[in-house]
Structure 1
Amino acid sequence: MSTLEEHIDVSVPLDTAWDCLHRSEAYPQFLDGVREARPEGEHRMHLDIDAGGRPQECVVEITDRTPENVMSWQTTSGPDLAGTFSLLPLDEQHTRVQARFEYDPGTIKETFGGPQGFAQASAIERGLRSDLEQLKQWVEGER
Structure 2
Amino acid sequence: MSTLEEHIDISVPLETAWDCLHRAETYPQCVDGVREARSQGTDRTHLDLDAGGQAKECDVQITDDSTGNVMRWHTTSGPDLAGTFSLLPLDQEHTRLQARFEYDPGTVKEAFGGPQGFAQAAAIERGLRTDLQQLKHLVEQER
Q: What TM-score bracket applies, with the shorter chain setting the length?
A: over 0.9
Aligned: 1:89 with 2:98: no
Matched residue pairs, number?
143
Structure 1 residue 52 displacement after superposition: 1.2
The one-letter code matched in structure 2 to 1:116 is Q
d(CA) in 2 for partners of 1:86, 1:136: 14
The DSSP-based 3-state class of the residue aligned with 1:35 is strand
d(CA) in 2 for partners of 1:98, 1:49: 23
The DSSP-based 3-state class of the residue aligned with 1:77 is coil
Once the two structures are superposed, what CA deviation does each residue of 1:66-104 show, in whole Å capped at 9, x if it has no partner? Answer: 000000000000111001000000000000000000000
Q: How do residues 48-63 of structure 1 correspond to structure 2 at under 5 angstroms?
A: 48-63=48-63
Structure 1 residue 142 displacement after superposition: 1.0
- Residue in structure 1 matched with residue 64 of structure 2 by the alignment: 64
The DSSP-based 3-state class of the residue aligned with 1:49 is strand
The DSSP-based 3-state class of the residue aligned with 2:97 is strand
- Residue in structure 1 matched with residue 113 of structure 2 by the alignment: 113
d(CA) in 2 for partners of 1:113, 1:71: 27
Q: Once superposed, what is the RMSD of the aligned Cα atoms?
A: 0.4
Q: How do residues 25-64 of structure 1 correspond to structure 2 at under 5 angstroms?
A: 25-64=25-64
Aligned: 1:102 with 2:106: no
Q: Structure 1: where are the runs of 5+ without partners?
A: none
Structure 2 length as normaliser, TM-score? 0.99
d(CA) in 1 for partners of 2:25, 2:46: 10
Structure 1 length as normaliser, TM-score? 0.99
- Residue in structure 2 matched with residue 138 of structure 1 by the alignment: 138
d(CA) in 1 for partners of 2:134, 2:5: 16
Identity, % of aligned pairs? 76
